[in-house]
Amino acid sequence: MARENTRLELSRHAARLFLERGVADTSGDDIAAAAGVSTRTVWRHFRSKESAVEPLFAHSSLRFAAMLHRWPRDVSIEDLFHASFGPGNQSPQDIADDILLVRLLARLPEEPELRTAWLMSCHLGEEHLIEVIAERLDRPRGDFEVRLCAATVMAAIRVVDETVSLAAMKYGLKTTLTEVNEHLAQAIRKASTLPFCDPIAPRIWPDDKLAPSLAKAAQNDPSQ
């Protein structure tokens, strides 16, 4: 955990420097100086200066995934977002991280070196979406349709994140949190190839695999 916290803190410093100076004009020495560590420490944690933003992107992806994993089966995706992203549901550090991410995403067209880190975090998010969709629909994680749905939904989330960030930072478009949540929920619904966005009926049996055998046993019960 300590190592991950160190990597995340270094990532925040790297992100701020990339935004202030650009990737090309930021060195590993600069990141080390901003973080108050040795340059050797930076290279111990990252294979390149561009990869230094990977923990920041991944942290955001994992926060989103954690929220999806807590998604009650009887709640729609709109209600989930409303309850999870409302005022007071984020720490000051999470808000600061989100601002950094929005600014970084808006810079992707000028800083393509950062796109690899962003796409890696999207892949991480897709893996968690597979688990969420499979759990909500009681389907295997390796199911092709589950994996396809997760891929299309993650692509929609990526497009929304990039579009909203670019609109805000480049064109000054003011979008409320409620509007962003609505756009995101609508995009996920449109991209979904499986019906996992609506409330899911509760399981009738503790283990649905037992249902056929229990039904058969009931038919053969002489007391019936």
Q: Which residue in 201, 188, 63, 55 sits closest to 138, CA to CA? A: 201
Q: Which domains, and CATH codes, for the chain?
A: 53-191 (1.10.357.10)
Residue 193 has pLDDT above 50, yes or no: yes
DSSP state of 52: G
Q: Tell me what pLDDT residue 224 has.
A: 47
Mean pLDDT, rounded, for 147-169: 96
pTM of this structure = 0.85
Are 196 and 145 a contacting pair, CB within 8 Å?
no
| pLDDT tens digits, one per residue of 7-49 | 999 999 999 999 999 999 999 999 999 999 999 999 999 999 9
